[in-house]
Amino acid sequence: MKITGETPKKTIKFKTKAPEASMVLSQWWLDKNPDKAAMELLTSAAYLKETQAYRYRQAAIYARLYGNQSLYSFAGSNVSKMDQSMGLPQERPTFNLIQSVVDTLVSRLSQSRPAPVFLTDNSDYKERNLAKKLNNFLLGEFYQCKTYDLAATALKDALVEGTGVIHTYETQDNKVGMERVLLTELLIDPNEGMYGDPRQMYRMKLVDRNVLIANFPKYREKLELAAKATPDNSSDASKTVSDLVMVVEGWHLRSGKNAKDGRHTLACSTGHLVDEEFTKDRFPFTFMHYSPRMLGFWSQGVAEQLMGTQMELNSILVTISRAIKLVGVPRVFQEEGSKISSAAHNNEIGVIVKFRGAKPTYEVAPCNAPELYEERDKLIQYGFQQSGVSALQASSQKPAGLDSGEAIRTYDDISTDRFAALSRRYDNMFIDLAYQVIDLAKDIAVRDGKYQTIYPNKNGTKEIDLPKASLIKDSFVIQCFTQSSLPKDPAGRLEKVTEMVQSGMISLQEGRRLLDYPDLEQVEKLANAGEERILQVLDEIIESGKYSPPDPWMDLALATQLTTSYINLYTSAKLEESKAQKLRDFFNQVQTLITASTPPITPPGAAPAAPGGPSPQAAPQPQQTSPLVPNGPQA
The DSSP letter of residue 333 is E
pLDDT at 423: 86
CA distances 272 to 62, 89, 187, 449, Å, are 35, 44, 19, 29
Q: What's the whole-number mean pLDDT along residues 560-588?
A: 88
Half-sphere exposure of 30 (CA within 13 A, CB side): 5
Q: What is the pLDDT of residue 182?
A: 93
Residue 469 has pLDDT above 90, yes or no: no
φ, ψ of residue 265 in degrees (nearest 5): -135, 135
Going by pLDDT thresholds of 50, 70 and 90, the confidence category of residue 79 is very low
| Beta-strand runs (E) in 139-175 | 163-170
Convert 332-366 to b/e letters by CB count within 10 Å (16 or more is b). Answer: eeeeeeeebeeeeeeeeeeeeeeeeeeeeeeeeee
Mean of per-residue pLDDT scores for the chain: 78
Q: Write down the pTM of the prediction.
A: 0.72
Q: Which of 457, 464, 415 is nearest to 438 (CA)?
A: 464
Q: How confident is the model at residue 132 (pLDDT cuts 50, 70, 90)?
A: confident
- Looking at residue 606, what DSSP letter applies? P
Query: Torsion angle of alpha carbons 602, 605, 611, 615, nearest 10°?
Result: 60
Crossing angle of helices 97-109 and 147-161, rounded to 10°: 150
CB 310 within 8 A of CB 387: no
d(CA 12, CA 107) in angstroms, rounded, equals: 46
Task: Encode pLDDT of 434-455 as tens digits.
Answer: 989 988 998 898 888 888 888 7
Enumerate residues 6+ apart whose C-beta is below 8 A from 224: 7, 8, 9, 209, 213
Least confident of 142-146, 284-288, 465-469: 465-469
Distance CA 156, CA 158 (A): 5
State the helix-helix crossing angle for 577-597 and 529-543, rounded to 10 degrees: 150
pLDDT at 540 over 50: yes
Query: Distance between CA atoms of 287 and 183, rounded to whole angstroms?
Result: 10
Q: Which of 65-79, 264-278, 289-303 has the lowest mean pLDDT?
A: 65-79
Phi, psi of 545 (to 5 degrees): 80, 10
**Average pLDDT, integer, range 559-577:** 87
Least confidently predicted of 286-295, 333-342, 392-401, 576-585? 392-401
The residues, ordered by sequence, that sit 6+ positions from 57 with a Cβ below 8 Å of its Cβ are 72
Q: Which residues contact 195 (CB under 8 A, 6 or more apart)?
A: 295
The rounded distance, in Å, linking the Cα atoms of 269 and 341 is 78
Q: Answer yes or no: is pLDDT of 634 > 70.
A: no
Highest mean pLDDT out of 458-462, 562-566, 568-572, 627-631? 562-566
Long-range contacts of 138-143 (CB under 8 A, 24+ apart): 138/434, 138/437, 138/438, 139/115, 139/455, 139/456, 140/453, 140/454, 140/455, 140/456, 140/464, 141/176, 141/437, 141/441, 141/453, 142/433, 142/437, 143/454, 143/455, 143/456
Q: Is the pLDDT of residue 484 over 70?
A: no
- Predicted local distance difference test score (pLDDT) of residue 314: 87
pLDDT score at 332: 81
Q: What is the pLDDT at residue 257?
A: 86
What tens digit of pLDDT does each residue of 134-192 get? Answer: 888 888 899 899 999 999 999 999 999 999 999 999 998 889 999 999 999 999 999 99
Helix (H, G, I), strand (E, B) or coil at 276: strand
pLDDT in tens, 209-254: 999 999 999 999 999 999 888 877 766 677 788 889 999 999 999 9
Per-residue confidence band for 603, with pLDDT thresholds at 50, 70 and 90: low
DSSP code string of 440-498: HHHHHHHHHS--EEEEEETTEEEEEEPPPGGG--TT-EEEEE-S--S-SSHHHHHHHHH
What pLDDT is recorded for position 363? 80
Which pLDDT value is given to residue 229? 84
Confidence band (pLDDT; 50, 70, 90) for 320? confident
- In tens, the pLDDT along 503-535 reads 777 777 667 666 655 444 555 566 778 888 888
Residue 490 has pLDDT above 70, yes or no: no
Q: What is the CA radius of gyration of the chain?
A: 35
Q: What would the DSSP string read from start to end of 218-264?
A: GGHHHHHTSPB--SSS-TTTT--S--EEEEEEEEE--SSTT----EE
Residues 578, 583, 587, CA angle at the centre, nearest 5°? 145
pLDDT at 94 over 90: no
Phi, psi for 37 (deg, rounded to 5): -65, -35
